[in-house]
């Protein structure tokens, strides 16, 4: 049998888009959009990744509207940044990479100091722990009109993203953000047609997908990132996620990205490795939040030691269930892991921390069949997203200089 590494470095298609190989840069919000404007540092970061041979880089976070941001230093999709985005994407294309944007909405999970609505909106009334120290302690339940408005907001944002040159859109259905707040029975307590059964809890997600598909057209590449489990009792389970994937495939998604965990309830499930707590406490602006993080740490920041391809077993169940493209994500740092994932029938692999450590990962893995990326999964990069200047690899601080 041919080395599965060859498959990884073969061209591949997502709907109408051809990629030069099967390695995609994962969405890693870089904290390089002060005031919500993409900066030169963001361009330099993704340009460097593009030069390393990645097939497509993902720009996060592309909020569907101003109130869909977790905080004010995130982009939201509007005409005010058209010029900057067009310029940014043009430069990235010069490296040969395609450019995807992760389109999402924070829902009730926000601490945005520029928040314009009365209160953050989610599926159901709840407390917003993230916003406690930022004047946004409560989440209101969306009315049906507000749900329809949010669906329209996603569609408008997608139209905008296509028009500025994004080659693809990755809709964020996971990690505890707005859409997954509807999918999860832990946060969705509605008794109308948007709550209760999985079919009802998926209604908002599928309406967003349908509206985005209509906005961008049939041949435009649409990926979707899901959480295979919320990682909390009473939340989405691995079993549910196989059905969720099948529903999204039927709804017209081209590629499903199989992640897990929730930033709001169990972040370490997706960030396997060293605890985020020391770094988050260090970089948090509010004293109250610093105390909150420390107090919640034993419950919220569980210990999940790093392992290569830690989501593979569960992602394989989705791979075996759907016909559409499936992208593996989570702990790919060696060519052996690439081989294992490709042998499992996956179409693409997303790389997060390994690229922050070594932006030349794709070139290196192609040239050296036994390549091992040296990322230690200290997870310090993930705690720097709100630090001045944003993220970098603390072990290789000059990577993106």
Ligand X SMILES: Cc1cc2nc3c(=O)[nH]c(=O)nc-3n(C[C@H](O)[C@H](O)[C@H](O)COP(=O)(O)O)c2cc1C
Closer to ligand X by Cβ: residue 60 or 153: 60
Residues in 107-166 at the binding interface with ligand X, rule: CB under 6 A: none
Closer to ligand X by Cβ: residue 89 or 351: 351
Report how far residue 290's alpha carbon sits from residue 284's, in angstroms, rounded to the nearest whole number: 6
Asked whether position 354 contacts ligand X by CB under 6 A, the answer is yes
Residues in 4-63 at the binding interface with ligand X, rule: CB under 6 A: 26-29, 60-61
| Shortest Å distance, C-beta 118 to ligand X | 26
Residues in 323-342 at the binding interface with ligand X, rule: CB under 6 A: 329-332
Single residue of 98, 119, 186, 225 touching ligand X by CB under 6 A: 225
Residues in 253-272 at the binding interface with ligand X, rule: CB under 6 A: 259, 270
Single residue of 172, 186, 314, 366 touching ligand X by CB under 6 A: 172
Report how far residue 51's alpha carbon sits from residue 205's, in angstroms, rounded to the nearest whole number: 35
Report how far residue 314's alpha carbon sits from residue 310's, in angstroms, rounded to the nearest whole number: 9
Count of C-beta atoms within a 10 Å radius of residue 193: 12
On the 0-12 / 13-18 / 19+ scale of CB atoms within 10 A, 73 is buried
| Shortest Å distance, C-beta 129 to ligand X | 19
What the block records as the tokens of 113 is 């100091």
Closer to ligand X by Cβ: residue 222 or 332: 332
Asked whether position 175 contacts ligand X by CB under 6 A, the answer is yes
Instruction: Give yes or no: 310 in active site.
Output: no
122 DSSP β-pair partners: 141
Count of C-beta atoms within a 10 Å radius of residue 206: 18
Largest CA distance in the chain: 60
Closer to ligand X by Cβ: residue 102 or 128: 102
Report how far residue 400's alpha carbon sits from residue 393's, in angstroms, rounded to the nearest whole number: 9
Where would I find the H helices in 184-237?
198-201, 203-216
Where are any strands of DSSP class E within 163-297? 168-172, 222-227, 255-259
Active-site pick, 134, 177, 194, 371? 177
Closer to ligand X by Cβ: residue 195 or 346: 346
Please report, as ranges, the residues that interact with ligand X according to CB under 6 A. 26-29, 60-61, 102, 172, 175, 225, 259, 270, 329-332, 351-354, 381-382, 385, 391
Which positions are catalytic? 177
């Amino acid at each position: 049998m041919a080395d599965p590494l060859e498959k990884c470095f073969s061209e591949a298609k997502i709907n109408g888009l051809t990629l030069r190989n099967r390695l995609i840069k994962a969405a890693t919000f870089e904290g390089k959009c002060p005031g919500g404007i993409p900066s030169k540092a963001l361009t330099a970061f993704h340009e460097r990744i593009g030069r390393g041979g990645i097939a497509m880089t993902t720009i996060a976070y592309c909020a569907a509207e101003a109130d869909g941001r977790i905080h004010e230093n995130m982009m939201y999709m509007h005409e005010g940044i058209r010029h900057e985005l067009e310029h940014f994407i043009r430069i990235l294309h010069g490296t040969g990479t395609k450019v995807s944007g992760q389109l999402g909405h924070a829902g009730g999970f926000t601490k945005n100091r520029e928040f314009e609505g009365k209160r953050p909106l989610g599926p159901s009334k709840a407390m917003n722990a993230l916003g406690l120290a930022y004047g946004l302690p409560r989440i209101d339940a969306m009315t049906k009109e507000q749900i329809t408005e949010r669906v329209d907001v996603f569609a408008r944002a997608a139209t905008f993203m296509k028009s500025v040159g994004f080659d693809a859109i990755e809709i964020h259905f996971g990690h505890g953000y707005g859409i997954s707040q509807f999918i999860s029975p832990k946060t969705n307590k509605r008794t109308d047609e948007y709550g209760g059964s999985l079919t009802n809890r998926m209604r908002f997600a599928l309406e967003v997908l349908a509206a985005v598909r209509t906005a961008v057209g049939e041949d435009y590449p649409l990926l979707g990132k899901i959480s295979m489990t919320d990682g909390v009792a009473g939340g989405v389970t691995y079993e549910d996620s196989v059905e969720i994937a099948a529903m999204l495939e039927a709804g017209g998604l081209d590629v499903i990205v199989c992640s897990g965990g929730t930033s709001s309830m169990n972040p370490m499930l997706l960030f396997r490795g060293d605890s985020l707590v020391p770094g988050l406490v260090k970089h948090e602006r509010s004293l109250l939040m610093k105390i909150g993080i420390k107090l919640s740490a034993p419950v919220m920041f569980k210990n999940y030691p790093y392992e290569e391809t830690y989501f593979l077993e569960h992602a394989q169940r989705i791979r075996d269930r759907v016909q559409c493209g499936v992208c593996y994500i989570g702990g790919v740092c060696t060519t052996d892991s690439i081989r294992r994932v490709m042998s499992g029938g996956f179409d693409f692999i997303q790389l997060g921390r390994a690229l922050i450590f070594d932006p030349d990962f794709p070139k290196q893995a192609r040239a050296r069949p036994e390549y091992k990326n040296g990322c230690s999964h200290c997870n310090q990069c993930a705690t720097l997203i709100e630090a001045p200047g944003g993220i970098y690899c603390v072990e290789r601080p000059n990577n993106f200089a």
